[in-house]
Amino acid sequence: MIYFDSKNPACKYPFGCVEQDREMTFRIFAKDGIYINSVDLAVYEDGREMPYVFNMAFSCKRGDESEFIAHININKVGLYWYKFVFHTEQGDIVKDDDGKCYQFTIYKKGYKTPDWIKGGIIYHIFVDRFCKGKDKNAVFDKKGGVLKEWGEEVTIKDSDGVFRANDFYGGNFQGIIDKLDYIKSLGTTLIYLSPIFKSSSNHRYDTGDYMMLDELLGDEKKFSELIKKADEKGMKIMLDGVFNHTGADSKYFNKFGNYDSLGAYQSKESPYYDWFDFYHYPDRYHCWWGITVTPTVSQRAVGFREMIAGKDGVIDKWTKMGVKGWRLDVVDELREDFVCDIRDRVKENCEDNLLIGEVWEDASNKIAYGYRRHYFQGEELDGVMNYPFKEAVLSYTMGGDRGAFAKTVMTIQENYPKESLLATMNLIDSHDTARALSVLSGVNMHGTSKEYRRDFRMDKATYDIAKKRLMLASTLQFMLPGVPAIFYGDEQGMEGYEDPLCRRTLDWDNIDNDLLEHYRKLGKIRKNHIDELCGDTFFEYNPDGLMVMERIGKYGTIKVLANNSDTQKSYILDKVVKDLYEDCVLQKDEEILVLPCSARILLVVS
């Protein structure tokens, strides 16, 4: 009886988030059968119980359907929820989104994210495992650590049963420099490095000194060389900012006495003592997820915040060296005013610098630790890690429902300002997850031991299935709005389950060249069609079960035909198109095939 679709511009215009001071138009349609006295649009500012109520005027009648319309303008930045109330002779009828209010965001006027990231490609490197170059200044000094030969299996626990992440392979800055041409061949525009500051672990998420590079990676001169040579090839560098916790083995906490400083663990007279929260000094303290090697920094630690985001602090030092982006680890555990301080410092160095946050859910309405988080209202992040897209891509590729995929994509597109969406990092795996290839193998690892998962390798038949699925998944990843992020080695067919099995050394002597060429083709398509891939996304209904996704730019349209089934499907073209992957022209009215577990990328010509 009542029709409203928030994703349909005929019902809500503009679609999705709206810039401050811009008028929005709402239309809702009701079929005859109910005598309607009036219709109200109730808009709730997030956290406010009483709504703003706007009367919707009767607009016109078409056949048996009446249209009601309201033009509203809200100039206050924030997150908003809305529903419709029909006042009828039989009582009030509420139209909402399956029991929930619809959502929109008003973002700050002039909010803009860096143009250079849009339409680009991110290459994510876990530095210790990517490539080991020859550098006499990259030295191993890890107390209790083990330096392994490249290609040796990762350690999942020491002899006493404890996992310490203290096995190292020596991947370094020189190794990345040696492979810059390779990285560029994938179409990469941004190299995202896992933490590089001095630390006692191989992952370096337990920072020892934010002002020092880890000696195993190389010195500042070598890091500057990496930044310079990457820039010469059109690639920028993004660092991992781990500012929620430090290492227990650090100059700030100094639990093991390895630093020439008076750490918080050693004395209450330490200049760092109030940076941490102790329950029973010194051995019981607040730490990240209960992991004692990563004591959490107190929310009240003004000195820590000043060191990170103050003048001549951590952000200043490395950004002035040429770093163009920061990814904030567990950003939802940082105070929002701290995030804003970090943004201010990042942007003060250069307005064109990038700030990304680690968020695993829909970042537009996330609640963490009892507080609503605000990331896209104009003074916070540029983008986030797009885990909702990750789950949607992997689920669809494994035979999931195309409608569910489309709903996830359209919901994120609706909830994120376009500037944020285009700067968002689209991943299908990372250092924190199982490799996409392993997930897509379909092998059931439920109930197996970590030792079994460590030793497991796919046979050829299983690998071929997983590879085919990975090619479909990566095609969708590269065609969706946002910036695709390749986790090092995915393009070569690396497998592995959860941390640390997803963090093995890259085997440069055994490369799946078909898969590598596939990623390079996708990179070229993105480079040549930035306009379309920065446009809007729509889905076309297909009765034969194909997923048909359109990316519509100012100057052209790309149509992606995806088939996640085990049978081939056909599609009749309504226009002349160019197959961008196969580099051929296809004619109007031509029937084309989409093979099982594959996709076709078509540029509409006429």
Domain ranges of the chain: 2-107, 128-180+194-233, 247-296, 300-383, 532-604
Tell me what pLDDT residue 521 has.
Answer: 98
Q: Which residues of 340-351 are buried (b: 16+ CB within 10 A; e: fewer)?
A: ebbbebbbeeee
Tell me what pLDDT residue 35 has.
Answer: 85
Tell me what pLDDT residue 486 has.
Answer: 98
Topology alike, domains 2-107 and 532-604: yes
CATH number for the region 532-604 comes to 2.60.40.1180
At 361, phi and psi to the nearest 5?
A: -120, -170
First to last CA, the chain: 39
Tell me what pLDDT residue 143 has.
Answer: 86
Give tens-digit pLDDT for 487-528: 999 999 999 999 999 999 999 999 999 999 999 999 999 999
At 81, phi and psi to the nearest 5?
A: -125, 150
Could you tell me which of 229, 204, 226 has the C-alpha nearest to residue 214?
A: 204
Fill in the amino acid letter for 482: G
d(CA 267, CA 296) in angstroms, rounded, equals 17
The per-residue DSSP string of 69-109 comes to: EEEE---S-EEEEEEEEEEETTEEEEE-BTTB-EEEEEE-T
The mean of the pLDDT values for the chain is 96
Q: Which residues of 269-283 are buried (b: 16+ CB within 10 A; e: fewer)?
A: ebebbebbebeeebe
As averages over each run of 10 residues, the pLDDT of the chain (606 residues) reads 94 97 97 89 95 96 93 96 95 94 96 96 98 97 93 95 95 98 98 98 98 98 98 98 98 97 98 98 96 96 98 97 98 96 95 97 96 94 98 98 97 97 98 98 97 98 98 98 98 97 97 97 97 95 95 95 97 97 96 98 94
Element housing 330 (H / E): none
Tell me what pLDDT residue 606 has.
Answer: 80
Give tens-digit pLDDT for 151-194: 999 999 998 999 999 999 999 999 999 999 999 999 999 999 99
Q: Where are the alpha helices (DSSP H) in 165-295?
A: 173-178, 180-185, 220-232
- Helix 387-397, helix 402-415: angle, nearest 10: 170
Give tens-digit pLDDT for 4-62: 999 999 999 999 999 999 999 999 999 987 789 999 999 999 999 999 999 999 999 98
Tell me what pLDDT residue 89 has.
Answer: 87
CA 21 to chain centre: 29
DSSP 8-state assignment for residue 121: -
Tell me what pLDDT residue 278 has.
Answer: 98
Q: Is 470 left (phi over 0), alpha (psi -120 to 50) or beta?
A: alpha
Structure tokens at 303: 């000195």
Query: Hey, which CATH number is domain 2-107, 2.60.120.380, 3.30.930.10, 2.60.40.10, 3.40.50.300?
Result: 2.60.40.10
Structure tokens at 182: 């390779």
d(CA 423, CA 404) in angstroms, rounded, equals 23
